[in-house]
Structure 1
Amino acid sequence: MLGITAAVLLFIAFLINAATIGTNEVFSSTNFTLIGLAALALHVAGIGHGWAVRGRGRGRRR
């Protein structure tokens, strides 16, 4: 999930930079790039890889 989020944020940063859209400091392409790279780093680290429900499943019965 974080990989998709990173891709979307980096694409938005690219659009802002390529279209030279004048934005305020909060929505600058640099901020979108940094947030996208942080999300990508978390994805590569294994955080946010998916939701796992632990409980009774197909485990071994005694």
Structure 2
Amino acid sequence: MLAIAAAIVFGLWLLLDLFDTNLGAPDLFNFSTMASLGLLLLSLYLAGVGSGPRGGSGSGSSGRRFYGRRPGRG
């Protein structure tokens, strides 16, 4: 989810840069602010923050884990 948010931030910044606009707030939508926000979201994604449930209790998993081949598959 955070990687998608970073992609949206970078895409929005690219469009603002291509159309040469600052939306009336040049200090808010500048290169360093948008790059910092995008890189922050990407680093949080790569660190594993916001990656969804891990299959613990209450997430709907049966608790069985199969490492390697699953039993009963011939």
Does the TM-score normalized on the shorter chain lie above 0.5? yes
Q: How many residues align?
A: 60
Query: Which structure exhibits the higher relative contact order, with contacts defined as CA atoms closer than 8 Å and separated by 6 or more residues?
Result: 1
1:16 CA displacement: 0.9
**Runs of 4+ in structure 1 over 4 Å off:** none
Q: Provide structure 2 residue ranges, at least 5 long, that are not aligned to the other structure.
A: 65-74
Paired with 1:44 and 1:9, the residues of 2 have a C-alpha distance of 16
* Cα RMSD (Å): 2.0
Kindly name which structure, 1 or 2, has the bigger radius of gyration based on alpha carbons. Answer: 2
Q: Which has the higher helix share?
A: 1
Percent identity among equivalent residues?
A: 28
Structure 1 residue 42 corresponds to structure 2 residue 34 = no
Residue type at the aligned position of 1:30 = S
Q: Give the TM-score normalised by structure 1.
A: 0.75
1:21 matched residue in structure 2: 21
